[in-house]
Amino acid sequence: MEVRALQFNAQVQTDLLCLVTEDELQDYAWPSPAVKQIMEAQKFSGKPGETSSCVFLPDGGDQPRKVVAAGLGKEEELTLEKVRRAVGAGLKEADKLNIALLTTMPWTNERLSAGDAARAVTEAYLLAAYRFDRYLAEKKASSVRSLQVGYGPEQEVEVIAALKLGQSLGEATNLARDLVNEPANVMTPERLAQEAQAAGEKYGFAVEVLEEEAIEELGMEAYLAVAKASANRPRLIIMRHLGDPANPDQVLGLVGKGMTFDSGGLSLKQAKGMEAMKFDMAGAAAVIGAMSALAREQVRLNVVAVVAACENLISSRGYRPGDIIGSMAGKTILVESTDAEGRLTLADAVHYIITKENASVVVDVATLTGAVIVALGNLTTGVLTNDDSLYQRLQQAAEKSGERIWQLPGFPEYKEQNKTPYADLRNVGGREAGTITAGLFVAEFVQDRPWLHLDIAGTAFSEKDGAYMVQGATGVGVRLLYHFAETYL
């Protein structure tokens, strides 16, 4: 998978990808009037998701070339996400035609700049061509080995920068997908820490990994209670990108849930579907991916990410339902279910990032509740916040990334559900409003910091292929967090 920028001219000899709106079946959208005629004859109309293809002989040329057309829909309804989807659809068509090198036609649309389009095209190509085939003897890679993003004479600077950003974001998202797709026998807390270290070395951010003794010294009792049962011991992973040393008081803190496997513990999950719980570290993968892109792009911000990685298993050493445990913040917690383990690790990680890393804003990302899937399905990430202006920033980031978010209410009355006569908090808020009470449990540990909580249990993994995603891990959160951070620039 390779992406290059290329100043487009009549001599370009490769196969072509034409992204075309419904209103834009004019001449310039096509390499030649003949292609336009053929596409019209094939009834290609530019609707979203529609594709068509043909072979033509360029004027004066002797090599036949293939053209893939992908529809963008109506021009006045055009969005970056429609560009990504069209690229995904176009790529599937190109794959069928066994195209190896594809060049997009230059972008000249009123609604989107050449730069935005180039970024979306690059991202979508990298995301659509991704495969998790490490364990397959017979690999089925996309035939398209390389994509050239064509630009017009005046678009060079903008397109080259956008392509670079698209590449950073696409590759960071694919890194997160790799981490999540790896099975739990491979992606242990130790391995996750090693992967974070490798990403830090590659992209230029600092990584510190604490082992059990150091975690005990910090007093992270809630985190360690969850980690107790597994022979795969916990790792506290701390990642730092201090891109704005002149403003040490501004630190964006990212916390990712890093449960490398969630069996439920003694509150055991049912066997059916348990294998999916290797994905319970998708929040961690999202923050590792976001840190990679932020460092690679040398973004001028201080960003720290923390992952309290561990595994929720069963053994005689494990914690039990009914246990009352402590936490780094000093609050006591009644464990009503050992399967509500994510909020316990997040509580300590959030307290750590505020008190030890000086985070002034906190965003946590977690595959936290099955309830968010009931509420929002697999399309939309559920969000809680204590700060509306922060949510507005996240909305901007959602628009740029195409990731869908929706806010759930955090009315104080819901906090009653996390109360118990026996401890400061209980880790289960009852069956009703499960995503909200889980988020508000974490909120008990954010002090006065502006805070966002992203429940990605529905969006981190997809059972089926999407417009530009293959089935499996989606890498959700990586691009969203990157663009969220950018709103502080």
Which one of residues 116, 280, 297, 311 is an interface residue with Zn ion (CB under 5 A)? 280
369 to each of 365, 436, 456, how far by Cα in Å?
12, 9, 8
Which one of residues 259, 281, 309, 371 is an interface residue with Zn ion (CB under 5 A)? 259
Q: What is the dihedral of CA 479, 481, 482, 484, to 10 degrees?
A: 120
**Shortest Cβ 325–Zn ion spacing (Å):** 16
Q: Is there a contact between 368 and 440 (Cβ–Cβ < 8 Å)?
A: no
From 92, 235, 343, 426, the catalytic residue: 343
- Which of ligand BES, Zn ion, none does residue 194 bind to, with CB < 5 to 8 Å depending on kind? none
Q: Which amino acid type is present at position 159?
A: V
Q: Facing residues of 306 across strands?
A: 238, 255
Q: Which of residues 449-468 bind ligand BES (CB under 6 A)?
A: 457
* Six token digits for residue 227: 């980690």
Helix, strand, coil % (nearest 5) of the chain? 40, 20, 40
Q: Which of residues 431-450 bind ligand BES (CB under 6 A)?
A: 434
Per CB under 6 A, the segment of 32-40, 284-292, 335-343, 390-398 that binds ligand BES is: 335-343
Q: Facing residues of 252 across strands?
A: 303, 361
**Total residues interacting with ligand BES, rule: CB under 6 A:** 15
By CB under 6 A, is residue 367 in contact with ligand BES? yes
Helical pair 80-96 and 114-128, crossing angle rounded to 10 deg: 50
By CB under 6 A, is residue 281 in contact with ligand BES? no
Which one of residues 81, 262, 297, 403 is an interface residue with ligand BES (CB under 6 A)? 262
* Number of neighbouring beta carbons within 10 Å of residue 191: 18
Which one of residues 143, 250, 337, 395 is an interface residue with ligand BES (CB under 6 A)? 337
From 269, 331, 415, 449, the catalytic residue: 269
Which one of residues 54, 252, 344, 371 is an interface residue with ligand BES (CB under 6 A)? 371
By CB under 5 A, is residue 262 in contact with Zn ion? yes
- From CA 215, how far away is CA 449, in angstroms rounded? 23
Pairing of strands 259-262, 302-312: parallel
- Which of Zn ion, ligand BES, none does residue 371 bind to, with CB < 5 to 8 Å depending on kind? ligand BES
- Number of helical (H) and strand (E) elements in the chain, helices listed first: 13, 20
Pairing of strands 381-385, 405-407: parallel
- The residue whose Cβ lies closest to ligand BES is 370
Per CB under 5 A, the segment of 45-53, 241-249, 277-285, 370-378 that binds Zn ion is: 277-285
C-alpha 439: how far from its chain's center?
19
Q: What are phi and psi of 338, to 5 degrees?
A: -75, -5
* Number of neighbouring beta carbons within 10 Å of residue 158: 17
- In the bound state with Zn ion, the residue whose beta carbon lies nearer, of 253 and 264, is 264
170 to each of 78, 251, 388, how far by Cα in Å?
21, 25, 29
Please tell me what DSSP assigns to residue 414. Answer: G
By CB under 6 A, is residue 321 in contact with ligand BES? no
Binding pattern to Zn ion, positions 331-350, x when CB under 5 A? --------x-xx--------
- In the bound state with Zn ion, the residue whose beta carbon lies nearer, of 123 and 280, is 280
- From CA 382, how far away is CA 387, in angstroms rounded? 15
Binding pattern to ligand BES, positions 118-137, x when CB under 6 A? --------------------
**Shortest Cβ 50–ligand BES spacing (Å):** 34
103 to each of 158, 188, 250, how far by Cα in Å?
18, 41, 42
* Six token digits for residue 385: 């916040």
By CB under 6 A, is residue 341 in contact with ligand BES? yes
Active site residue 74: no
- In the bound state with Zn ion, the residue whose beta carbon lies nearer, of 140 and 431, is 431
Active site residue 343: yes
Query: Given its phi and psi angles, is residue 287 left (phi above 0), alpha (psi -120 to 50 degrees) or beta?
Result: alpha
- Which of Zn ion, ligand BES, none does residue 287 bind to, with CB < 5 to 8 Å depending on kind? none
**Total residues interacting with Zn ion, rule: CB under 5 A:** 6
Which one of residues 50, 116, 178, 339 is an interface residue with ligand BES (CB under 6 A)? 339
- Which of ligand BES, Zn ion, none does residue 370 bind to, with CB < 5 to 8 Å depending on kind? ligand BES
- Site residues (vs Zn ion, CB under 5 A): 259, 262, 280, 339, 341-342
Residues in touch with ligand BES (CB under 6 A) = 262, 280, 337, 339-342, 367-371, 428, 434, 457
Residues belonging to the active site: 269, 343
